[in-house]
Structure 1
Amino acid sequence: MAQNETQTVDVMLVGAGIMSATLAVLLKELDPNIQLEIAELRETGAVESSNPWNNAGTGHAGLCELNYTPDSGDKIDISKALHINTQFEVSKQFWAYLTGQEGFGEPRNFINPVPHISFVRGESDIDFLKRRHAALIESHAFADMVISDERETLAEWMPLTMPGRAADEKVAATRYEKGTDVNFGAVTQQMLSHLSKKNGTLVTYNQQVTDLERDGDVWRVSIKHTKTGERRNVNARFVFLGAGGGALPLLQMSGIPESKGFGGFPVSGMWLRCDKPDVVEQHQAKVYSQAEVGAPPMSVPHLDTRVVDGQTSLLFGPFAGFSTKFLRHGSFMDLPLSIRMNNLKPMLSVARDNMDLTRYLIKEVMQSTDERLDALKKFYPQARREDWRLELAGQRVQIIKKDPKQGGILQFGTELVSSQDGSIAALLGASPGASVTVSVMLELLERCFKERYDSAEWTAKLAEIFPAREEALKTDGDLYRQVTAKTWSALKLDA
Structure 2
Amino acid sequence: MTSPASTPATSTPGEYAHPVIPDTSRPDVVLVGGGVMSATLAALLGIVAPHWSITLFEAGDKVAAESSDGWNNAGTGHSALCELNYTPAGADGTVDATKANQINEQFQLSRQFWSHLVRTGLTGSPKNFITPVPHISFVHGTEGQEYMRARHAALTASPLFAELELTTSQDELAGWVPLMMEGRDPAQPVAATRSTAGTDVDFGSLTRLLLDQATSRGVAVHTGTSVQDLERTTDGRWKVTARHHASGEEFTVNAGFVFVGAGGGALPLLQRADIPEIRGFGGFPVSGLFLRSTNDALAARHQAKVYGQAAVGAPPMSVPHLDLRLIDGQQSLLFGPYAGFSPKFLKSGSWLDLPRSVRLGNIGSMLGVARTQTALTRYLVGQVLQRPSDRLEALEEFVPTAEGDDWEMIHAGQRVQVIKQDAKGRGVLQFGTELIVGGGGTIAGLLGASPGASTAVAAMLDLLRRAFPDQHADWEPLLREAIPSYGRTLADDPALFAEVREETTRTLELTGPVELAGAR
**Equivalents in 1 of 2:430, 2:231: separation in Å?**
28
Secondary structure in 2 matching 1:351: helix
Which whole-Å deviations, capped at 9, do the CAs of 1:23-48 have from their partners, x for residues lacking one?
01110111211100110000110000
Among residues 230, 249, 268, which one is paired with 2:268 in the alignment? 249
1:174 equivalent in alignment to 2:193: yes
Equivalence for 1:226: 245
Secondary structure in 2 matching 1:395: strand
Equivalence for 1:485: 502
**Equivalents in 2 of 1:218, 1:68: separation in Å?**
40
- Cα drift, residue 306 of structure 1: 0.2
Tell whether the 8 Å contact from 1:87 to 1:470 is kept in structure 2 after alignment: no
Tell whether the 8 Å contact from 1:196 to 1:202 is kept in structure 2 after alignment: yes
Equivalence for 2:82: 64
Among residues 356, 363, 370, which one is paired with 2:382 in the alignment? 363
Unaligned runs of 5+ in 1: none
- Cα drift, residue 6 of structure 1: 3.2
- Cα drift, residue 178 of structure 1: 1.1
Secondary structure in 2 matching 1:494: coil
Q: In the alignment, residue 354 of structure 2 is paired with which amino acid?
A: L
Secondary structure in 1 matching 2:284: strand
1:473 equivalent in alignment to 2:490: yes
**Equivalents in 2 of 1:124, 1:168: separation in Å?**
15
Equivalence for 1:284: 303
Equivalence for 1:450: 469
Q: How does 1:246-395 map to 2 (within 5 A)?
A: 246-395=265-414
Among residues 82, 86, 105, which one is paired with 2:105 in the alignment? 86
**Equivalents in 1 of 2:466, 2:150: separation in Å?**
38
Taking structure 2 as the reference length, what is the TM-score of the superposition?
A: 0.93
Which whole-Å deviations, capped at 9, do the CAs of 1:110-129 have from their partners, x for residues lacking one?
00100000000111121111
Among residues 23, 44, 60, which one is paired with 2:41 in the alignment? 23
Which whole-Å deviations, capped at 9, do the CAs of 1:89-122 have from their partners, x for residues lacking one?
1000010011112352210000010000000011
Among residues 8, 18, 35, which one is paired with 2:26 in the alignment? 8
Which whole-Å deviations, capped at 9, do the CAs of 1:311-340 have from their partners, x for residues lacking one?
100000010111100001111100000000
- Cα drift, residue 166 of structure 1: 1.4
- The 3 A distance-change label for structure 1 pair 176 and 40 is same
Tell whether the 8 Å contact from 2:122 to 2:209 is kept in structure 1 after alignment: no
Among residues 26, 39, 52, which one is paired with 1:34 in the alignment? 52
Among residues 45, 54, 61, which one is paired with 2:63 in the alignment? 45
Equivalence for 2:209: 190
Secondary structure in 1 matching 2:489: helix
Q: CA RMSD in A?
A: 1.3
Tell whether the 8 Å contact from 1:11 to 1:237 is kept in structure 2 after alignment: yes
Tell whether the 8 Å contact from 1:3 to 1:230 is kept in structure 2 after alignment: no
Secondary structure in 1 matching 2:111: helix
Equivalence for 2:139: 120
**Equivalents in 2 of 1:244, 1:92: separation in Å?**
22
Tell whether the 8 Å contact from 2:227 to 2:240 is kept in structure 1 after alignment: yes
Tell whether the 8 Å contact from 1:4 to 1:231 is kept in structure 2 after alignment: no
Equivalence for 2:516: none
Secondary structure in 2 matching 1:258: helix
Equivalence for 1:143: 162
Tell whether the 8 Å contact from 2:170 to 2:186 is kept in structure 1 after alignment: no
**Equivalents in 2 of 1:231, 1:295: separation in Å?**
45
Unaligned runs of 5+ in 2: 1-18, 513-520
Among residues 436, 451, 456, which one is paired with 1:432 in the alignment? 451
Among residues 160, 182, 202, which one is paired with 2:220 in the alignment? 202
Q: In the alignment, residue 270 of structure 2 is paired with which amino acid?
A: L
- Cα drift, residue 420 of structure 1: 5.0
**Equivalents in 2 of 1:470, 1:422: separation in Å?**
21
**Equivalents in 1 of 2:122, 2:157: separation in Å?**
41
Q: In the alignment, residue 34 of structure 1 is paired with which amino acid?
A: W
Equivalence for 2:477: 460
Taking structure 1 as the reference length, what is the TM-score of the superposition?
A: 0.97
